[in-house]
């Protein structure tokens, strides 16, 4: 048998087994979720969770603002460095 065909067959078998394993694990988790008394996604949210989520949202928004400021600073610094490099280059007269 050709070695290339053997390698392709081995890779195909590995891919099929991996896909089958994923499907089996997905089915087991669905089965466990239906057997529990209450799925996690239907759990009621408490006011403590709401307060935590609000603080988390505020923190993420402030981080986003700071990251944008850092980006602006980097763009400004890059522009300054490019301008200075242009000034320092000797100009050629044709």
63 and 87 co-located in one domain: yes
Could you say which residues of the chain have pLDDT below 70?
Answer: 1, 37-45, 89-94
Look at the chain and report how many structural domains it folds into. Answer: 2
pLDDT of residue 34: 78
Asked if 59 and 73 sit in the same domain, the reply is yes
pLDDT at residue 41 in the model: 65
Q: State whether 33 and 51 are in the same domain.
A: no
- Whether 14 and 58 map to the same domain: the answer is no
Burial status of residue 6 (CB atoms within 10 A of its CB: 0-12, 13-18, 19 or more): exposed
* Domain of residue 87, residue span: 45-94
What does the pLDDT read at residue 30? 86
Q: Distance between CA atoms of 69 and 66, rounded to whole angstroms?
A: 5
Task: Show the tokens assigned to 22.
Answer: 């994923």
């Amino acid at each position: 048998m050709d070695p290339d065909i053997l390698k392709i067959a081995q890779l195909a078998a590995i891919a099929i087994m991996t896909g089958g394993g994923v499907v089996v694990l997905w089915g087991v988790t669905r089965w466990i979720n239906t057997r529990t008394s209450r799925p996690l996604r239907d759990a009621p949210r408490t006011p403590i969770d709401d307060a935590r989520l609000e603080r988390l949202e505020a923190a993420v928004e402030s981080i986003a603002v700071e990251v944008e400021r850092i980006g602006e600073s980097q763009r400004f610094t890059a522009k300054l460095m490019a301008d200075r490099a242009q000034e320092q280059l000797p100009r050629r007269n044709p």
